[in-house]
Amino acid sequence: EVSTEDPETAFSTLANREDLNPEEGSIYHCLYQFTRNEKLTETNKLLCDVCTQRHCGPKKNMKSEKYIYTNAKKQMLISLVPPVLTLHLKRFQHAGFNLRKVNRHIKFPEVIDLAPFCTVKCKNVAEGNTKVLYSLYGVVEHSGTMRSGHYTAYAKMRSMNNHLSDLVIRGQSPQALETEPVKGQWFHISDTHVQAVSASKVLSSQAYLLFYERLL
């Protein structure tokens, strides 16, 4: 979706990104890099319809269209925060003509704040809120290589989140909820084997998929 925004707010976020100072090798650093401000120049210039019409006149009067490209800035930010946040980590990289699995540990928290990655005009965040908090409830981990391996999961057994149900079913945005992780017991699931584990065990896993539920 391309929209015309006030230049003063087009690249503004709910919380100051520069105050984040994310640690390299963390999920915050991944999100920071994914939503960074990019300059489009040279062969990446943006086709500008306004510039083209200004230079050549209305298209209906143009015998031969000459498109005008211009330098631009691009930034991908979240405009509508989801009830359930799913983060999919890229666990492969190119090694010549082959793909190689990335086994590096990426740090991720039990509670994550999406505000530094949301547009200042985020549609379903209450006015004045500068935090968009999510609590971790599931992790998928892969062991092995690109050719073979095994998937296991960590899941938190917790009480029902009525506020999350309201958000999913009725679209009602939370106003003031808990800001701490949802209490519950973590379990490690591998095929038919299920074992209770600590939160520290979960946070030390090599996550492939992360699942968070909205708190605030």
pLDDT score at 77? 93
Beta bridge partner(s), residue 194:
189
Look up residue 91 and give its two tokens.
């666990």
CA–CA distance, 158 with 68 (Å, rounded to integer): 56
pLDDT score at 102? 84
Report the alpha-carbon angle 122-83-182, nearest 5: 120
pTM: 0.81
Q: Kindly give the confidence (pLDDT) of every residue in the chain, 216 residues in length, as a single tens digit, with 9 standing for 90 and above.
A: 445 566 667 788 999 988 888 999 999 999 999 999 888 888 888 888 777 777 776 655 545 567 888 888 888 999 999 999 999 998 887 777 777 788 889 999 999 999 999 999 888 888 888 999 999 999 999 988 877 889 999 999 987 766 676 777 766 665 555 677 888 999 999 999 999 999 999 999 999 999 999 987
> Domains in the chain, please, with CATH?
78-214 (3.90.70.10)
Strands of 68-200 (E only): list them.
69-70, 72-74, 84-88, 92-95, 98-101, 111-113, 133-144, 149-158, 184-190, 193-197
CA–CA distance, 91 with 142 (Å, rounded to integer): 9
pLDDT score at 171? 65
pLDDT score at 58? 62
Q: Is 165 helix (H, G, I), strand (E, B) or coil?
A: helix
CB 115 within 8 A of CB 14: yes
CA–CA distance, 49 with 67 (Å, rounded to integer): 8
**Other residues' Cβ atoms within 10 Å of the Cβ of residue 51:** 14
- Strand (E) or helix (H) holding 138: strand 133-144
pLDDT score at 1? 45
- Give the residue carrying structure tokens 């299920």: 194
CA–CA distance, 180 with 187 (Å, rounded to integer): 20
pLDDT score at 180? 77
pLDDT score at 170? 66
